[in-house]
Amino acid sequence: MTGKSLSERIGDLGHRLAVEAHAAWLAARDARVPVLARVLAIAVAAYALSPIDLIPDFIPVLGWLDDLIIVPLGLWAVRRLIPAALWNELHAAAETASERPSSRSGMAFILLLWAVLLYLLYWAVRTSPVH
């Protein structure tokens, strides 16, 4: 069999998702993109390019759900909202880029979300009648 191995196919998928996320990041900054698509592209690109995941990857199965479900669905939605010719232009620009952007705002949002969740957990335990 001359096909690619599983690890090569996973690597290709990761590369494709990185290029798509970069294209979404470019779309979020392009004035020709419709407003709704720009807003969604900002959210998807910030999350996809953030160095911190909502669900950390070291958590078995759940850690990969965001990478396998949330990000591709978000990218699919962004792609559907942008005209095909414009998306092809943005995708080509992302494909030829030598460096991928990193989202500090996405990282800050995820850290803030985790802090709020931890505070809510602390509050729930603290105000529990069992405590």
Q: pLDDT per residue over 96-127, tens digit each?
A: 876 666 567 767 777 788 788 888 988 888 88
In this structure, what token pair is assigned to residue 59? Answer: 């958590």
Residue 24: inside a domain, yes or no?
Answer: yes
- Residues whose CB falls within 8 Å of the CB of residue 112, separated by 6 or more in sequence, listed in order: none
Residue 16: inside a domain, yes or no?
Answer: yes
As for how many domains the chain has, the answer is 1
- pLDDT score recorded for residue 99: 65
Longest pairwise C-alpha distance within the chain: 64
Residue 1: inside a domain, yes or no?
Answer: no
pLDDT digit string, tens, across residues 44-59: 888 777 776 777 777 7
Q: Quick one: what percent of the chain has pLDDT higher than 70?
A: 88
- The domain containing residue 26 runs over which residues? 6-126
Nearest one of 100, 9, 84 to 48, comparing CA atoms: 100
pLDDT digit string, tens, across residues 5-20: 877 887 777 778 888 8
Q: Quick one: what percent of the chain has pLDDT higher than 90?
A: 27
Residue 131: inside a domain, yes or no?
Answer: no
The set of long-range contacts for 36-41, using a CB threshold of 8 Å and a minimum separation of 24, is 36/81, 37/78, 37/81, 37/82, 40/74, 40/77, 40/78, 40/81, 41/78, 41/82
**pLDDT tier for residue 61 given thresholds of 50, 70 and 90:** confident
Residue 1 has pLDDT above 70, yes or no: no
- Residues whose CB falls within 8 Å of the CB of residue 36, separated by 6 or more in sequence, listed in order: 81
